[in-house]
Every structure is written in structure tokens, then in C-alpha cells.
Amino acid sequence: MQRYTKIRANMTFSRDFIELSCRKGVLRFGTFLTKAGRTSPYFFNAGLFDDGGSFSDLCGFYARAILGSGVAFDMLFGPAYKGIPLVAGTAMRLAAEGMNVPFVFNRKEAKDHGEGGMLIGAPLAGRVMILDDVISAGTSVRESIGIIRAHGAEPAGLVIALDRMERGQGEISAVQEVKEAYGIPVVPVATLMDLIAYLGDSPELEANLAAVQAYRDAYGTHDAIR
């Protein structure tokens, strides 16, 4: 089976992704309570990429992150539910770049008629790149890796939209936890540091910079993942 590798390394698209996220209201600024009980000055909701144009752009950013990552892989996996449109759309954008890769996604409940089973798409095989929106508790990642390994394949890496670079219950971030627990790379389209840099260059949004930096100082980690 062919292994796809890095074909370009320009990661400046992170800024374009943040700009689109702000324009669509996917990335908002204000006062928000996180699942960890923290008061955050920003909130990211990938579900608001809710039209054809912006979602196509989102999948294009995922494709560019994959192409720039240097991670070898054979196919894509999208965990239900948010990963389902992501994996299909990203496979289409990769095909437009000349990389025609198979993809598969899972159901939440097994189907007992028709084709049956828990998976829809290509057979799980080889090295599998997982696509999700964010990492919070890591439940989706654990379930995805379990499914992949149960079918005799191996996880190659995980692609997410935004790495908040924020500590979990301990001293390391959710991204670091995934890397340490499973030994796979995590490839973000953008990180909190990309967001901070964008705010510093944006006259319209610069007023939010101090609050985001303060949140980073209070809860951030200093891992460099790319």
C-alpha cells in the first residue's frame, strides 16, 4: 500500500484559517465557561462552519495541514459524528491536490440490516490518519484508536482544527497526553500561539489580545508541536 508523505511545508495557512473562523463566528471573544470550569476569553465552535463554502475551506485547511505535516499514512478515519463530514470533505480536497486516499467513518450504533456493521467506507488497513475538530477529554481519540487497532490497522496521527495549548487536570495539555499515551503526532491546523499572533496584527480584534495572553499565562503549556 502506498505511503503518502510530506509534499510541501508552508504552514502560513494557519492565519487564513483563524481569519475565516473569526469571520464565520466560529471563533468568538468574550467570557465563556469551559468544561474544565475555567473562564475563557475565547470560544471555538467548529459546528458553525455550516455552509458549503466555509466548510469546503475548512476541509482545505485540513488537507494542507496533512500535506505539510510529513506524517506518512494510508487512509483517513472520521469518528462519529463531527468527524464524518470532515473526513469526506478532506478526502475530496486531498484528491483535488492529486492525493486520492480512501476514507472510512464509524457509526455510534451497529446496523443490523443491509451492509451492517459499525463502519462505512473503505476497509481499515495500514496507517490511519484520524480527523477530529478538537481534543477535550480525549474520549473520541481513545475510541477511534480502539476501532482502528481492532481491525488490524495502526493510527498514524491525529489532525485537529485548533490546539488550545492548555493544561488538562495535570501539567500537560490534551495534545501532549495523546502524544504520550499513543505515540502518535497531533497536527493542528492552528494553535493558540497562532491566534495570539493574529490578534496582535488585527486592529479590529487587538482589544482581545491581553485577555487571551493572560489566559495563556494562567493555563497554558509550552509544548511546541510543530
Per-residue pLDDT of the chain (226 residues; tens, 9 = 90+): 344 333 334 457 999 999 999 999 999 999 999 887 889 999 999 999 999 999 999 999 999 999 999 999 999 999 998 999 999 999 999 999 999 999 999 987 765 544 557 899 999 999 999 999 988 766 789 999 999 999 999 999 999 999 999 887 678 888 888 999 999 999 999 999 999 999 999 999 999 999 999 999 999 986 543 3
pLDDT given at position 134: 85
Contacts of 53 (CB under 8 A, 6+ apart): none
111 tagged catalytic: yes
Residue with cell 491536490: 97
SS3 63: helix
Please state, in angstroms and rounded to a whole number, the distance separating the CA atoms of residues 90 and 164: 22
SS3 22: helix
The residue annotated as part of the active site, out of 35, 108, 113, 222, is 113
pLDDT given at position 9: 40
| Cis, bond preceding 198 (omega within 30 deg of 0) | no
24 tagged catalytic: no
SS3 33: strand
Q: What is the pTM of this model?
A: 0.89
Please state, in angstroms and rounded to a whole number, the distance separating the CA atoms of residues 55 and 195: 20
pLDDT given at position 6: 39
Amino acid at 215: Y
Question: Nearest-CA neighbor of 218 among 44, 34, 46?
Answer: 34
SS3 123: coil
pLDDT given at position 222: 62
| Cis, bond preceding 81 (omega within 30 deg of 0) | yes
Please state, in angstroms and rounded to a whole number, the distance separating the CA atoms of residues 180 and 80: 24
Please state, in angstroms and rounded to a whole number, the distance separating the CA atoms of residues 163 and 101: 25
First CA to last CA across the chain, in angstroms?
27
Residue with cell 501539567: 171
pLDDT given at position 135: 83
pLDDT given at position 78: 97
Q: Which helix (H) or strand (E) holds 109?
A: strand 103-111
- Here the cell at position 215 is 489566559
Contacts of 33 (CB under 8 A, 6+ apart): 39, 40
Domains, the chain, in order of start with CATH, read 13-219 (3.40.50.2020)
The residue annotated as part of the active site, out of 111, 151, 179, 222, is 111
pLDDT given at position 224: 42
The full 3-state SS of 132-195, as one line of letters, equals CCCCCCCHHHHHHHHHHHHCCCEEEEEEEEEECCEECCCCCEHHHHHHHHHCCCEEEEEEHHHH
